[in-house]
């Protein structure tokens, strides 16, 4: 049987690679120097694109993919893919929601304890031999504190569930109030920040949320407040955050994502009240396996029934 043609934008986990290699005719775009030439000469029959939240898909490439009908992306966020443009062209987009909720929420807790209880700083303190000559500063308690969540979607709710285990009081801000959740809605993000001891950023990325966390919000969170970002770097005005951290208007930041990944501003590395992770929210063996399987299932479902399983457009 003739195999369908697929263009793969960037490297993927081995489960996806092996599946693609045995079931499809694959063009590995990132291995080619002249991308446009490769699209023009080798991808005219490609019905599917396989990509990820990280590698995305450039709109200008779509004109060189006349047979394209489906995009299967590794990751729940799709801010690096223009879903509207795909919809306009009648191309389906599938992503990998839900299978990573718990993992990302666990990462948020790791950041909360890592920064809030000073775990990362304390580790440095011991390794650098400071324990024999100095006292580690007292940190603030986590239990019973006020936690704000920007973006109470499925991952936001998994974060809230974990925070109830710490007896935290929880409020959230979304574009609109969510029905059927036991947490209080705060219509103003600034009010939420003012109220919160910890503010978790868990909304979508892209233009609608660009720099939602600005100087005013960080100042409202305050000198004792902790900002935790596990969504997208673009939601936070990074320059304003650095200034707020430097002059003590913001207590601390725990970040898994950055505005210009994988580049992290030098100024952040110099701050003791900051914990940094290289975008590992969903990075466990089990979760990446489930995400890979969903990429495959989305493609399979499309070729079998004409619709991806987890459909964005
Ligand atoms: C990505 C993510 O999957 O799911 C998302 O939106 O940001 C991550 O889990 C990972 O960076 C690979 O692109």
For residue 54 the two structure tokens come to 């990280």
Cross-strand partners of 25: 5
- For 273-284, write each residue's pLDDT tens digit: 999 999 999 999
> Which residues constitute the domain of residue 71?
4-97+286-305
Instruction: State the Cα–Cα distance between residues 193 and 220, nearest whole angstrom.
Output: 6
Is residue 232 among the annotated active site residues?
yes
Annotated catalytic residue, options 5, 279, 288, 294: 279
The predicted-structure confidence for 152-190, as pLDDT tens digits, reads as follows 999 999 999 999 999 999 999 999 999 999 999 999 999
Q: Tell me the torsion sign for CA atoms 153, 155, 156, 158.
A: positive
- Closest to 52 (Cα-Cα) out of 12, 16, 19: 12
pLDDT of residue 109: 98
Q: Which two tokens stand for residue 186?
A: 């705060």
Q: What is the pLDDT of residue 313?
A: 75
Residues 6+ apart with CB under 8 A from 203: 150, 151, 153, 156, 174, 209, 212, 231, 235
Distance 310 CA to ligand 1 centre (A): 15
- 45 and 190 fall within a common domain: no
Do the domain assignments include residue 234?
yes
Looking at the structure, tell me whether residues 175 and 298 fall in a common domain. Answer: no
Catalytic residue flag (residue 261): yes
Specify whether 142 is located in the same domain as 231.
Answer: yes
Dihedral pair phi/psi, residue 298, rounded to 5°: -60, -45
Is residue 151 left, alpha or beta, with left meaning phi > 0 and alpha meaning psi from -120 to 50?
left
Ligand 1 center to 136 CA (angstroms): 35
Mean pLDDT of the chain: 97
Helix (H, G, I), strand (E, B), or coil: what is residue 144? coil
Find the 76 Cα to ligand 1 centroid distance in Å: 6
Q: Is residue 312 part of a domain?
A: no
Q: By CB neighbour count within 10 A (0-12 exposed, 13-18 middle, 19+ buried), where does 42 fall?
A: middle
- We report the CATH number of the domain holding residue 160 as 3.40.50.720
Residue 281 placed within a domain: no
**Residue 32 belongs to some domain of the structure:** yes
Confirm whether 310 is domain-assigned: no
Indicate the DSSP class of residue 231. Answer: S
In this predicted structure, the answer to whether residue 1 has a pLDDT above a threshold of 90 is no
The whole-number pLDDT of residue 241 equals: 98
Task: Identify the pLDDT of residue 24.
Answer: 96
137 plus 88 within the same structural domain = no
Token pair 């457009």 is at which residue?
313
Please check the confidence at residue 122 and state whether its pLDDT lies above 90.
Answer: yes
Same domain, 8 and 106: no
> In whole angstroms, what is the distance from residue 51 CA to residue 239 CA?
30
Please check whether residues 82 and 180 belong to one and the same domain: no
Is residue 148 over pLDDT 90? yes
Are 202 and 71 members of one domain? no
- Determine, yes or no, domain membership for 22: yes
42 is known as an active-site residue: no
The residue nearest atom 6 of ligand 1, judged by CA position, is: 77
- The three-state secondary structure class of 47 is strand
Predicted local confidence at residue 2, as pLDDT: 87
pLDDT of amino acid 233:
98
Q: Same domain, yes or no, for 173 and 298?
A: no
Within-domain flag for 311: no
Domain count across the chain: 2
User: pLDDT tens across 35-93, in order?
Assistant: 999 999 999 999 999 999 999 999 999 999 999 999 999 999 999 999 999 999 999 99
User: What percentage of the chain reaches a pLDDT higher than 90?
Assistant: 99
Tens-digit pLDDT profile for residues 194-220? 999 999 999 999 999 999 999 999 999
In a domain, 313, yes or no: no
22 and 71 housed in the same domain: yes
């Amino acid at each position: 049987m003739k195999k369908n043609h697929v263009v793969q934008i960037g490297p993927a986990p081995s489960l996806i690679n092996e599946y693609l290699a045995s079931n499809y005719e694959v063009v590995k775009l990132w291995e080619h120097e002249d991308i446009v030439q490769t699209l023009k000469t080798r991808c005219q029959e490609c019905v599917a694109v396989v990509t990820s939240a990280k590698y995305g898909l450039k709109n200008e490439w779509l004109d060189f993919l006349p047979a394209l009908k489906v995009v299967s992306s590794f990751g729940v966020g799709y801010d690096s893919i223009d879903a509207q443009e795909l919809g306009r062209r009648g191309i389906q987009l599938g992503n990998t929601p839900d299978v990573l909720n718990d993992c990302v929420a666990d990462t948020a807790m790791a950041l909360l304890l890592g920064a809030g209880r000073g775990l990362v700083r304390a580790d440095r303190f011991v390794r650098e031999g400071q324990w024999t000559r100095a006292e580690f500063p007292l940190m603030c308690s986590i239990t019973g504190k006020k936690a704000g969540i920007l973006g109470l979607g499925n991952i936001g709710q998994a974060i809230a569930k974990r925070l109830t285990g710490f007896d935290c009081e929880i409020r959230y801000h979304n574009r609109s109030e969510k029905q059927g959740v036991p947490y209080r809605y705060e219509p103003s993000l600034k009010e939420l920040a003012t109220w919160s001891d910890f503010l978790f950023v868990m909304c979508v990325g892209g233009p609608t949320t660009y720099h939602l966390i600005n100087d005013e919000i960080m100042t409202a969170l305050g000198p004792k407040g902790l900002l935790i970002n596990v969504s997208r770097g673009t939601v936070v005005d990074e320059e304003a955050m650095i200034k707020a951290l430097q002059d003590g208007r913001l207590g601390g930041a725990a970040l898994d994502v950055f505005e210009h990944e994988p580049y992290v501003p030098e100024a952040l590395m110099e701050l003791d009240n900051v914990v940094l992770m290289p975008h590992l929210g969903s990075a466990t063996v089990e979760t990446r396996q489930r995400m890979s399987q969903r990429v495959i299932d989305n493609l399979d479902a499309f070729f079998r029934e004409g619709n991806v399983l987890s459909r964005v457009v």
